[in-house]
Copies of this chain bind each other. A is one copy, B any other.
Amino acid sequence: MAAPLGESALDQLFRDARTCQWFDGREVTDEQIEAIWDLLRMAPTSMNQLPLRVVWCKSPEAKERLAAHAMEGNKDKVRQAPVCAILAYDTQFHEFMPQLFPVSDAKPLFDGPGKAAFRQTSAFRNATLQGGYFIMAARALGLDCGPMSGFDNAGVDGEFFADAPSWKSNFICSVGYGDRSRVHERLPRPAFPQFNRLI
* Residue contact B187 to A142, C-beta cutoff 8 Å: no
* Residue contact B149 to A56, C-beta cutoff 8 Å: no
* Residue contact B128 to A125, C-beta cutoff 8 Å: yes
Q: How large is the interface on A (under 10, 10 to 19, 20 to 34, 35 or more residues)?
A: 35 or more
Residues in B neighbouring A135, C-beta threshold 8 A: 43-44, 129, 132-133
What mask results when residues 79 to 112 of chain A are scored 1 for a CB within 8 Å of chain B, else 0?
A: 0000000000010000000011111000000000
Residues in B neighbouring A131, C-beta threshold 8 A: 128-129, 132
* Residue contact A48 to B188, C-beta cutoff 8 Å: yes
Residues in B neighbouring A53, C-beta threshold 8 A: 195-196
Between A2, A10, A62, A101, the greatest number of chain B beta carbons within 10 A of the residue's beta carbon is seen for: A10
* Residue contact B9 to A140, C-beta cutoff 8 Å: yes
Known A17-B43, A178-B1; contact A190-B132, beta-carbon cutoff 8 A: no
Contact of A147 among B44, B56, B99, B124 (CB under 8 A): B44
Contact of A59 among B58, B90, B199 (CB under 8 A): B199
- A74 near B: Cβ within 8 Å? no
Contact of A137 among B14, B178, B192 (CB under 8 A): B14
Known A100-B187, A171-B125, A190-B100; contact A56-B196, beta-carbon cutoff 8 A: yes
- Would you give 30 A-B contacts (Cβ < 8 Å), ordered by A? A1-B17, A2-B177, A5-B13, A9-B140, A13-B136, A15-B39, A19-B44, A43-B135, A46-B147, A46-B149, A46-B171, A52-B195, A53-B196, A54-B196, A56-B198, A56-B199, A59-B199, A62-B199, A90-B195, A100-B187, A100-B188, A101-B187, A102-B188, A124-B125, A124-B128, A125-B149, A125-B170, A128-B129, A129-B135, A132-B136
What mask results when residues 11 to 26 of chain A are scored 1 for a CB within 8 Å of chain B, else 0?
A: 0111101010000000
* Residue contact B132 to A199, C-beta cutoff 8 Å: no
